[in-house]
Amino acid sequence: MIKNLKEYKKKKKIFLDLNKHYYDLNRPVVDDASYDTLKKDLINFEENNKDIIGDNKVKNIVGYKPSDKFSKVKHDENMLSLDNAFSSEDISDFYKKLNNFLNLDLDTRIELLAEPKIDGISASLKYVNGKYTQGISRGDGNFGEEISENLATIKDIPKVLSNSFKGELIVRGEVYIAKSDFKNLSEKFANPRNAASGSLRQKDSKNTSKIPLKFFAYGTIFKNHDIVEKQSDFLKILKDFGFKINPLSKIINNEHELDLNYKNIETKRASLDYDIDGIVYKVNNFKLQQRLGNLTNSPRWAIAHKFSAEKGISKIKKIEIQVGRTGALTPVAKIDPVNIGGVLVSNATLHNEEEILRKDIRVNDTVIVQRAGDVIPQVVRIDLTKRPKTSKKFIFPQKCPCGFTTVKEFNETTKKYDAVRRCPDKGYECNLITKEKLKHYVSKDAMNIEGLGKKVIENFWNLNLLKLPQDIYKLDFNRISKLEGWGKLSADNLKKSIEKTKKINLDRFIFSLGIRHIGQENAKILARFFKSINNFKKLISRKDQIYTDLIQLDGIGDTQVKSLKNFFINKTNKKVFEQLISQLTILDHIFSKKGKFLNQTFMFTGGMSKMSRSEAKKIVENEGGKVLGSPSKKLNYLISGDSKPTIKKINQAKEIGVKVLNEKDWYRLIDF
């Protein structure tokens, strides 16, 4: 409850700042629920004090306008994020994935370089013939903001490299504020990272220069890998060039060394003059990094090992059931807001029904909540000594709020029933799932419709403006322009951003459909396979042959095929799909226009000794070729690995005149 105008003004300022972080800086500093509570309090106050408040009501603020202060620039190579590891199992898993991809023995431990993960803001710097020419923020990873001048004010960033370097060099690193310097800024910003982000995005670089920003250089892009062999050598080069590099990096050869280093740095953490939130492990050898390559959002060759989460104590006020896009019912504890490591937390996940039962979590319990990085906060423990005598066991609802009786699915692999209860919606029957699907459809990695965020979807849904994805293309902008908080300009902008995204790549479109088990990587595999929306459309017919072909694709398994079948069996899904494709221009999947395997098709059988199937496939695709699942007239090469090739496939291929190469021929073909 806001008591007076002074408090209202103060809180409104905070609200505007939160908005800015959410919409402009893309880095929310509080969770959605805390944001909502604050907004509700402000609006309540406005409602009750109609005469004092002017035009600029919180009620009318839809979202912070995306910044047009800086021009957008495409990164030479995407700036990715890192996958997280929280436990030794996650680390073993990382090693396993590396070995699998590189086809090494499972107990091989390739050399890694461990570096502290600086909790700052990443930046990419361009040098041409040794001169600093451009500095870009991370932005959405693909396009960043040109903040050359602001970055130039940072003393740690050399304007001319000490050693002459011919050609273009990209240096990536982290901008941060020292803890000691932050002391003087703590009134204005919640934490050093926030302060760094705010200062970097000053319109006038004079304002940036007033803030003591620092920079640690940590890397480059694939294109510059030929300078030296290893990441550790590259850091030395960076130092010679005049950059500051973090002094705590260390070569790691096995789990034991990794563990020691992790513990050592964690103990040092508090005494360092900059915030770190974990250790980054990078495959040290650049050639191996290149072979491993990237997934959609993170490199395969690196992982962030996060420090243990920060904890806080609070009280559960209510347990709510949230329904996700895949129908999973997740219990969420609404807790008294508590500040954990600089972030105000008022929601914590309770995972699933079994977790509540096992821990006997109840409303009014005092709980320990933990938060690690950008992961959803969770309730880890209950303080039973504080449990009120009157408290009652929480009864988990057996029904989805939409009315459907929920189910626990049987997992064929583990031969057990899932812990998660799901709404059995098959296609847009459950309102809650539908809303989540809509949010997914418009989201950044999917159709990426700017201005149509989660809150706007909720709002339009409540106003009946939008019920299914195709309604987005029939929105009544005249009506929208008259809605509270909107106007002609914002409605026009929304219209424009919808129009802009109507031309869409096939893989993005497939991902946008929100088919269960079809994530970004699977969507790419499907797009590569089907090439065009017309081919993909054949899935509607649900002919067995298509699914037989699909299952042979690397990365597509029974689960995905079953899910695609279930999706296309449903009438509403089919209707949504058909209406969407009639509204959109879905671009054919583009195979690399250059490369020595342009328009050539390959198939693999048997294992190879020097590389995994995934890597071989990636090489074909990077060179413009395609990998087929079964021999056909369209096939150019069948590569037969030395280990257990399928003779039947080889014979079949030979019969139809396909060139069959052995493992050695293959290595020769790709200069490996």
DSSP secondary structure string for all residues of 396-437: PPSB-TTSPBPEEEEETTTTEEEEEEE----SS-SHHHHHHH
Nearer to ligand IVH, 81 or 308 (CB): 81
Please identify which residue in 19, 34, 103, 122 interacts with ligand IVH, judged by CB under 6 A: 122
Residues 105-136 as b or e (16 or more Cβ within 10 Å = b): eeeebbbbbbbbbbbbbbbbbbbeebebebbb
Interaction between residue 118 and ligand IVH (CB under 6 A): yes
Interaction between residue 82 and ligand IVH (CB under 6 A): yes
d(CA 199, CA 204): 10
Q: How far is the CB of 282 from ligand IVH (least distance, A)?
A: 6
Please identify which residue in 30, 53, 58, 280 interacts with ligand IVH, judged by CB under 6 A: 280
Report, as residue numbers or ranges, the catalytic residues.
Answer: 117
Please give the angle made by the CA atoms of 344, 349 and 352, to the nearest 5 degrees: 175
Q: How far is the CB of 375 from ligand IVH (least distance, A)?
A: 12
Nearer to ligand IVH, 261 or 459 (CB): 261
Please identify which residue in 80, 177, 504, 533 interacts with ligand IVH, judged by CB under 6 A: 80
CB-count burial class (<10 Å; 0-12, 13-18, 19+) for 211: buried
CA distances from 160 to 111, 148, 233, 242, 384 (A): 32, 14, 20, 9, 62
Nearer to ligand IVH, 122 or 490 (CB): 122
* Number of residue whose CB is nearest ligand IVH: 122
Name the β-bridge partners of 587. Answer: 505
User: 222 and 76 in contact (C-beta within 8 Å)?
Assistant: no
d(CA 100, CA 119): 31
Query: Using CB under 6 A, which of the segments 110-118, 411-419, 427-435, 643-651 binds ligand IVH?
Result: 110-118
Q: How far is the CB of 103 from ligand IVH (least distance, A)?
A: 24
Nearer to ligand IVH, 305 or 439 (CB): 305
- Kindly state the tokens that stand for 203: 């319109």
- Strand extents, DSSP E, 143-237: 143-145, 168-177, 213-219
d(CA 563, CA 170): 42
Q: How far is the CB of 69 from ligand IVH (least distance, A)?
A: 21
Nearer to ligand IVH, 217 or 550 (CB): 217
Nearer to ligand IVH, 307 or 667 (CB): 307
CA dihedral (621, 626, 631, 633) positive or negative: negative
Interaction between residue 245 and ligand IVH (CB under 6 A): no
Q: How far is the CB of 444 from ligand IVH (least distance, A)?
A: 16
Any residues with CB less than 8 A from the CB of 358 and at least 6 apart, and which?
A: none
Query: Using CB under 6 A, which of the segments 117-125, 406-414, 427-435, 600-608 binds ligand IVH?
Result: 117-125
Q: How far is the CB of 199 from ligand IVH (least distance, A)?
A: 16
CA-closest candidate to residue 284, choices 511, 105, 166, 112: 112
User: 176 and 196 in contact (C-beta within 8 Å)?
Assistant: yes
Nearer to ligand IVH, 277 or 621 (CB): 277
Interacting positions 207-236 with ligand IVH (CB under 6 A): 218-219
Element housing 49 (H / E):
none
Nearer to ligand IVH, 218 or 486 (CB): 218
Element housing 529 (H / E):
helix 520-530
Q: How far is the CB of 124 from ligand IVH (least distance, A)?
A: 10
Q: How far is the CB of 598 from ligand IVH (least distance, A)?
A: 29
Query: Using CB under 6 A, which of the segments 92-100, 114-122, 350-358, 566-574 binds ligand IVH?
Result: 114-122
Interacting positions 133-172 with ligand IVH (CB under 6 A): none
Nearer to ligand IVH, 84 or 573 (CB): 84
Nearer to ligand IVH, 372 or 527 (CB): 372
Find tokens 């929601």 and name the residue: 347
Name the β-bridge partners of 81. Answer: none
Query: Using CB under 6 A, which of the segments 60-68, 98-106, 115-123, 664-672 binds ligand IVH?
Result: 115-123
Q: How far is CA 359 from the centre of its chain?
A: 31
Q: How many of the chain's residues bind ligand IVH (CB under 6 A)?
A: 14
Q: How far is the CB of 122 from ligand IVH (least distance, A)?
A: 3
Interacting positions 459-498 with ligand IVH (CB under 6 A): none
CB-count burial class (<10 Å; 0-12, 13-18, 19+) for 51: exposed
Nearer to ligand IVH, 115 or 623 (CB): 115
DSSP secondary structure string for all residues of 253-266: -SHHHHHHHHHHHH
Binding mask of the shown chain, residues 171 to 190, with x at each position contacting ligand IVH by CB under 6 A: ---x----------------
Interaction between residue 117 and ligand IVH (CB under 6 A): yes
Three-class SS state of 202: coil
Please identify which residue in 31, 115, 353, 365 interacts with ligand IVH, judged by CB under 6 A: 115
Q: How far is the CB of 372 from ligand IVH (least distance, A)?
A: 13
Interaction between residue 81 and ligand IVH (CB under 6 A): yes
Count other Cβ atoms within 10 Å, centred on residue 36: 14
Helix and strand numbers (H, E) in the chain are 24, 24
Query: Using CB under 6 A, which of the segments 75-83, 194-202, 325-333, 437-445 binds ligand IVH?
Result: 75-83
d(CA 343, CA 18): 12
User: 251 and 193 in contact (C-beta within 8 Å)?
Assistant: no
Interaction between residue 101 and ligand IVH (CB under 6 A): no
CA distances from 214 to 31, 157, 232, 584 (A): 28, 8, 21, 46
Interaction between residue 124 and ligand IVH (CB under 6 A): no
Q: How far is the CB of 257 from ligand IVH (least distance, A)?
A: 18
Interacting positions 294-313 with ligand IVH (CB under 6 A): 299, 302, 304
Positions that interact with ligand IVH (CB under 6 A): 80-82, 115, 117-118, 122, 174, 218-219, 280, 299, 302, 304
